[in-house]
Amino acid sequence: MTLRIRELRTLDKDLERLSAAERAGVQSLRPLVRIGVAVLFVAIMVVAASAVASGFGSGLASDQRAAVATIAAGVALAAYLALTIGANDVSNALSPAVGSGAIGLRAGLALVAVAEIAGAVLAGDRVSTTLSAGIVNSAQLLADGQAAPAMLAALLAAALWINLATLAGAPVSTTHSIVGGFAGAGLAVYGLSAVNWLGLAAIASGWIVSPLAAGLVSAGLLAVVRSRIDRDPDPRAAARRWLPAMVAVVTAVGAGMLVGGPLGQPPVVAVTLMALIGAAVRAAALQHLDRRLAAAGGERPQQRDLFALPLVLGAVLMAFAHGANDASNVTAPLGLILAAANQRTGLAAGVAAPDLSLVATLAAGGGLALGALLFGWRLVVMVGSRITRLNPVRAFCVSLGTAGVVLAASWLGLPVSTTHVAVGGVFGVGFYREWEDRRRKRDRKALPVEETRRRTLVRRAHVRRILLAWAITLPASAALAALFGTMMR
Distance in angstroms between the alpha carbons of the first and the last residue of the chain: 82
What is the reported pLDDT for 213? Answer: 92
Cβ–Cβ contacts within 10 Å for residue 11, how many? 10
Report the distance separating Cα 119 and Cα 97, nearest Å. 19
Residue 394 lies in a domain: yes
Residue 267 lies in a domain: no
Residue 368 lies in a domain: yes
**C-beta separation of 481 from 158 below 8 A:** yes
Instruction: Supply φ then ψ for residue 136, to 5 degrees.
Output: -120, 160
Cβ contacts of 336 within 8 Å, gap of 6 or more = 132, 138, 141, 142, 147, 148, 150, 151
In total, the chain counts a number of residues equal to 489
Report the distance separating Cα 92 and Cα 466, nearest Å. 14
Query: Long-range pairs for 20-27 at CB < 8 Å and ≥24 separation?
Result: none
Show the domain range for 447: 32-231+322-399+415-488
What is the reported pLDDT for 463? Answer: 67
Q: In 3-state terms, what secondary structure has residue 137?
A: coil
Report the distance separating Cα 178 and Cα 250, nearest Å. 29
**C-beta separation of 481 from 188 below 8 A:** yes
Residue 252 lies in a domain: no
User: Mutual orientation of helices 392-412 and 303-326 as an angle, nearest 10°?
Assistant: 20
* Count of domains forming the chain: 1
Residue 262 lies in a domain: no
What is the reported pLDDT for 28? Answer: 41
Residue 108 lies in a domain: yes
Among residues 120, 243, 454, the alpha carbon closest in space to that of 235 is found at 243
Report the distance separating Cα 173 and Cα 57, nearest Å. 41
Report the distance separating Cα 126 and Cα 137, nearest Å. 18
The CA–CA distances, whole Å, from 342 to 55, 68, 151, 346 equal 12, 9, 15, 7
Q: In 3-state terms, what secondary structure has residue 136?
A: strand
Among residues 425, 431, 432, the alpha carbon closest in space to that of 384 is found at 425
CA dihedral 254, 260, 264, 268 (to 10 degrees): 140
Report the distance separating Cα 152 and Cα 155, nearest Å. 5
Residue 279 lies in a domain: no
Cβ–Cβ contacts within 10 Å for residue 351, how many? 13
DSSP 400-429: HHHHHHHHHHHHHT----HHHHHHHHHHHH
To 5 degrees, how large is the angle CA 389–CA 393–CA 397? 95
What is the reported pLDDT for 113? Answer: 82
Question: Rg of the chain's alpha carbons, rounded to an integer?
Answer: 25
Mean pLDDT by 10 residues, the chain (489 residues): 57 52 44 81 86 62 74 87 78 68 76 83 76 74 75 86 73 80 83 79 85 91 84 80 83 73 70 86 83 71 71 82 83 83 56 65 83 74 56 80 84 81 82 79 60 56 69 85 82
H or E element in which residue 183 lies: helix 174-190
Strands (E), 145-300: none
Residue 419 lies in a domain: yes
**C-beta separation of 279 from 248 below 8 A:** yes
- In this structure, what DSSP letter does residue 59 have? S
To 5 degrees, how large is the angle CA 53–CA 59–CA 62? 75
The CA–CA distances, whole Å, from 64 to 51, 56, 144, 345, 429 equal 13, 7, 18, 5, 55
